[in-house]
């Protein structure tokens, strides 16, 4: 009875104020200039890669993968198999964006977000270079 009466009296110190409205994460990310530039760069490079490979897959019947030691083109594969590269890039992009958004929530882990989104840009550039290398050997 005494315990119940004391707990009903309340706390001696006031509680810290808290917002009842959760912060909207996407607007926080979009309002941050480096994050916006990295994400837009990832998307532009990824869609550019997808468009380029789509156009190349419809015009070429077969493309060589690699080359032999004497410089001749390697084994020929159907050009439609090049679509695996943009699909793999989109998988990396989706994974990086979601993990980056998870790390972006706290200010002390935002550098991980920038690192993930920057690596998505580098990965897209590497996929573009790989497609360029494959298409230029043919």
Segment 83-137, tens digit of pLDDT: 999 999 999 999 999 999 999 988 899 999 999 999 999 999 999 999 998 888 7
pTM to 2 decimal places: 0.76
| C-alpha torsion 126→70→84→48, nearest 10 | 40
> What is the distance between the alpha carbons of residues 5 and 12, in angstroms, rounded to a whole number?
14
Tokens 């050997």 label which residue? 137
Between the alpha carbon of residue 68 and those of residues 64, 71, 72, 75, 117, the distances in Å are: 10, 5, 5, 9, 36
Residue 124 region by backbone torsions, left for phi larger than 0, else alpha for psi between -120 and 50, else beta: alpha
């Amino acid at each position: 009875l005494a315990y119940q009466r004391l707990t009903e009296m309340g706390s001696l110190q006031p509680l810290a104020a808290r917002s009842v409205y959760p912060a909207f994460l996407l607007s926080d990310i979009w309002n941050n200039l480096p994050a916006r530039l990295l994400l837009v760069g990832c998307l532009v490079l990824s869609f550019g890669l997808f468009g380029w490979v789509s156009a190349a897959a419809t015009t070429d019947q077969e493309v060589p993968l690699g080359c032999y030691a004497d410089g001749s083109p390697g084994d020929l594969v159907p050009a439609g198999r090049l679509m695996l590269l943009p699909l793999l890039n989109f998988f990396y992009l989706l994974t990086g964006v979601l993990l980056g958004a998870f790390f972006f929530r706290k200010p002390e882990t935002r550098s991980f977000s920038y690192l993930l989104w920057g690596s998505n840009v580098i990965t897209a550039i590497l996929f573009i270079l790989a497609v360029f290398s494959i298409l230029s050997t043919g």
